[in-house]
Structure 1
């Protein structure tokens, strides 16, 4: 619906792109579960990660442990959908990943007003696309 539930970023220096995306997915699911969210639609721009979560491909050994942990987390969720989107449709996530490069740990934002201005703008842009597609 376009409303912010939570946004998070963290430094995953030393991880490959797919390793970082697998870890970020696990973080997001943990944060959502801690907030009591039991219905999740996940969108990601890594087909490898989306397919791994859906059980459609053999797991790459570099992400196998993280994906198995993620699958255990998902088993406790009432409704879970994972969808692939192209990078152009993932601009908010990309902006948060860039913020994470400058952090020492994990940071979570729980309100729209607390987000950095450029992320608020991108989020509002995404929300307007959702509204016009209804």
Structure 2
């Protein structure tokens, strides 16, 4: 029986973990990137949101992954685990499948940014393990432009509650 992790899992000690998601509302002509970066103890370092341009779901997921890497490198992280909910995109970055020509350039850009990290892991995450990012994504068009949150208490309420719940679960397990 295939079992899937339904909880956020911390990265290795002294690493950072970036979870991201792309949200496309084609009917509104909007594409958004949402993400959160946390320390190995579960503490939020930064959450972010921004509007992107893309014409396909694959392009959006690739740009979201690339944007998360750019944010991580701009902060100065050298050891990063990143997770996204697009298995196709994660496998494409790992070189496990052929990609459509429309995302080849994005994959090449992702690989260039990966060179800026000393240690890197990439993996697929199911929606249940990406709840904080999904809470930011649920805000949809309420968030315009580029936005960064450096403090947990400045996040929207539902994202704060989920982040707090995940931190509590880590404390009680560890």
TM-score range, shorter chain: 0.7 to 0.9
Aligned residue for 2:121? 81
Aligned residue for 1:44? 84
1:112-134: per-residue Cα shift (whole Å, max 9, x none)?
A: 12111111111112223333443
**Displacement, 1:100?**
4.9
Question: Which of the pair is proportionally richer in strand?
Answer: 2
Q: CA RMSD in A?
A: 1.9
Q: Does 1:57 align with 2:97?
A: yes
Q: Does 1:6 align with 2:46?
A: yes
For CA contacts below 8 A with separation 6 or more, give which structure has more relative contact order.
Answer: 1
Structure 1 CA distance, aligned partners of 2:120 and 2:145? Answer: 27
Larger CA deviation: 48-57 vs 123-132: 123-132
Aligned residue for 1:129? 169
The TM-score with structure 1 as length reference comes to: 0.87
Q: Does 1:118 align with 2:171?
A: no
**Displacement, 1:14?**
5.3
1:55-101: per-residue Cα shift (whole Å, max 9, x none)?
A: 21112223222221111000110111011111111111112223353
**Displacement, 1:15?**
4.0
* 1:65–1:45 distance in 2 versus 1, CA, 3 Å: same
**Displacement, 1:52?**
1.4
> Which aligned pairs between 1:98-117 and structure 2 lie closer than 5 A?
98-117=138-157
Secondary structure of the 2:49 match is strand
Question: Which of the pair is proportionally richer in helix?
Answer: 1
Structure 1 CA distance, aligned partners of 2:111 and 2:105? Answer: 10
* 1:14–1:22 distance in 2 versus 1, CA, 3 Å: closer
5+ long unaligned stretches in structure 1: none
Aligned residue for 2:13? none
